[in-house]
Structure 1
Amino acid sequence: MKLSEGVEWGLHCVSVLAELPPGATLPTKALAQYHGLSETYLAKHLQALTNARIIESLPGPKGGYRLQRSPEEITVLEVVEAIDGREPLFRCTEIRQQGPLAQEPQAYRRPCGIHVVMAQAEKAWRDALREQTIADLVAHYQHDVAVKQQQRSTQWVTERMRRA
């Protein structure tokens, strides 16, 4: 399984937005600079997050992005699905029914064992991501990152945020 880099970008951006004070926003340019990313490419992912109602975009000179809901209400899975979609990670094409040893269709009444195992694994993965919220990610950051670095980050964001 390979997730797009946009998932990482989206999770980081949503985590930064989660720490903004009420009423504040960050423009695309600031989010891109903060993470050293292409503003144009990041904008596509921010639009996907907006369409999924995870973040909202406010227009105008004081505009930018902010969370649409509290960090406790946004799951990691929502961000993953907003960026990469909800399609199953594994697609069974029933190759067991092809080739020189294929049997009659009625011999394949039971689901393919490989399909069953992959579906169970995907369900477990999605369930784990559904249990983790953006608030959990922020808490990990606050626990794992040195206070001095957190202060530098807060100062950098504060200098670039906009208040509506």
Structure 2
Amino acid sequence: MKYSKATNYALHTMVHLALVPGGKAVGVEYLAQEQKVSPTYLSKILTKLVKAGLIESTPGVNGGYRLIKQAEDISFLDVIQAIEGTTTLFSCSSLDHEPLTFHKGCYIQKVMLESEGKMKNELKNRKISEVVEAAKEDKK
């Protein structure tokens, strides 16, 4: 399983925004420079985070992006789903073929959905604040 690079940049952006003192707005140019990615590409990612209600955009000279919620209220799953969506990772291709199916669907799909549920639960319980705290400790 592999998440897109956009998810990688989104998670790093969220941590960076959480580390900004006083919740000041940060411009896309600066965020892009920090991650060595094009501002245009990062803008598309930031738009998804805004639509998901995780960050807000403030226009103007002193504008930029900032967290809407506290870092301890933002899960890894929140960010991942903002970028990747909420569809399942696996879709059974043998729904009509015996012996891989049973009266309620695909055996393989059942195992995959149960496992994915456990992973989602773990990611839901892991917060951006964990990484923020680790980063602060490294700076000491």
Q: What TM-score does the superposition give when structure 2 sets the normalisation length? A: 0.91
State the alpha-carbon separation in 2 of the partners of residues 146 and 133 from structure 1: 20
Alignment of 1:109 with 2:103, yes or no, is yes
Question: Is residue 57–residue 63 contact of structure 2 (8 Å, CA) maintained in 1?
Answer: yes
Q: Which has the higher contact order (CA 8 A, sep 6+)?
A: 1
- Deviation track 1:25-53 (CA, whole Å, cap 9, x = no partner) reads 11000000011111111110000000001
Structure-2 residue corresponding to 1:30: 30
Instruction: Provide the secondary structure at the position in 2 that maps to 1:97.
Output: coil
Instruction: Please point out which of 123, 126, 135 is paired with 2:120.
Output: 126
Question: Is residue 15–residue 128 contact of structure 2 (8 Å, CA) maintained in 1?
Answer: yes
State the alpha-carbon separation in 1 of the partners of residues 139 and 22 from structure 2: 25
Q: How does 1:86-105 map to 2 (within 5 A)?
A: 86-93=86-93, 95=94, 97-98=96-97, 102=98
Amino acid at match of 1:137: V
- Unpaired runs of 5+ residues, structure 2, are none
Calculate the aligned-residue CA RMSD, in Å. 1.7
Provide the identity percentage: 35
Structure-1 residue corresponding to 2:3: 3
Over 6 Å off, 4+ runs: none
Structure-1 residue corresponding to 2:82: 82
Cα distance, 1:73–1:21 mapped onto 2, change above 3 Å: same
- Deviation track 1:87-136 (CA, whole Å, cap 9, x = no partner) reads 1111123x1524xxx58xxx831432211110011001100100011111
The CA deviation at 1:21 is 2.1
Larger radius of gyration: 1
Q: How does 1:38-77 map to 2 (within 5 A)?
A: 38-77=38-77
The CA deviation at 1:20 is 1.4
- Unpaired runs of 5+ residues, structure 1, are 148-164
State the alpha-carbon separation in 2 of the partners of residues 15 and 108 from structure 1: 45
